[in-house]
Amino acid sequence: MSENGNLFAQQEANRRRSRRLVIGFILFFAWLGFGGDFIFYEYTKGAGPGAYHHVVPFFGIILTIIAASMAWWAWTTGPKRVLWSTGARELTDPQTPQEQQLDNVVEEMAVASGLPKPKIWIIPDADPNALATGHDANTSSIAVTQGLLDLCSRDELQAVVAHEMGHIKNLDVRLMTQLAALVGAVTLIGDGVGRMFFYGGNPLGGLGGGRRSSGGDRDDRGGGNGVLLIVLLVLWIVSWILAPIIMRLMALGVSRDREYLADAMSAQFTRNPLSLATALGKIEDADAPTKSIKGGAAQMCIADPTGRHLNSKEGKVAELFGTHPPMALRIARLKAMGYQAQPAAIPGSR
């Protein structure tokens, strides 16, 4: 398949993943809401006159509306939230040679990639790293840490920026930004629900009075329905507890292949894969973590900001739970590209 074919296929795959992410997110919360409604309905349907009967599925309606609102919020404010969480400042008027070099490099790579020039941000962190965010090429931003500016040469900085331009061109930024925003929102909800279950007592306690008022009905409804109710209740509670973990796993399992593709696109834009290889080597050797970038945005960075050991591994577990491919493998691939390109660059070498 041609490079354009690969690019279009990757863009379409990212669009599909983004749609599935939002639909899956809303359906999951609908299950949490309507599942709870059904459990409460079963729990209260035999209650006597005057007791509470849960008939209207308002939990499901409310949670579905909340999930749709959160998805919309993640879409509209995700890029700003990601940049805000890092403490980044926008570079609008370069004041130092270092800032001017960054501005020039971003403009050059925008031309090389055929994309509009993204907004530029600098993250006040001494650890070298970089990320891209946005909805598409017209709303994208590239952020680099101060440590990256201090550590990398001009060619290396250009290669890192080209890598991030690759993520923008592939539409990785849309999927990654949505993931980061939704993971953050679900984590907050999960924390609240965890407190409710583990420190707040029985979550059904508020409805218990109505049910207890018709004690004889419990026996009438026993058997299969009772077992079904217990199973549903367990599944419902487990779903609430696992919600943030599921979202985080979704974020962990999508980024390895796209890093290889962005590396290759950096080599294409700069025509110098060895510059990105040396830049990645410096990033790998630097002290981690990148404290300004939190774990929820880890999958967006050129290197894992948390410095997790898992990302240096290969195999199925690392493929499933790692956010980035092993740095040594990425560097080896880039060096191979560089060595393949060298003979063609020397007249008469072939």
How far apart are the C-alpha atoms of 178 and 79, rounded to whole Å? 9
Say whether 164 is catalytic: yes
Q: What is the CA radius of gyration of the chain?
A: 25
HSE, side-chain direction, 13 A CA sphere, residue 145:
23
Among 131, 134, 253, 247, which Cα is nearest to 184's? 247
Amino acid at 67: A
How far apart are the C-alpha atoms of 277 and 296, rounded to whole Å? 26
- Kindly state the tokens that stand for 10: 């990757």
**For 144, left (φ over 0), alpha (ψ -120 to 50), or beta?**
beta
User: Of the residues 12, 99, 107, 164, which is catalytic?
Assistant: 164
Q: What is the distance of C-alpha 52 from the center of its chain?
A: 42
- Active-site annotation, residues: 164
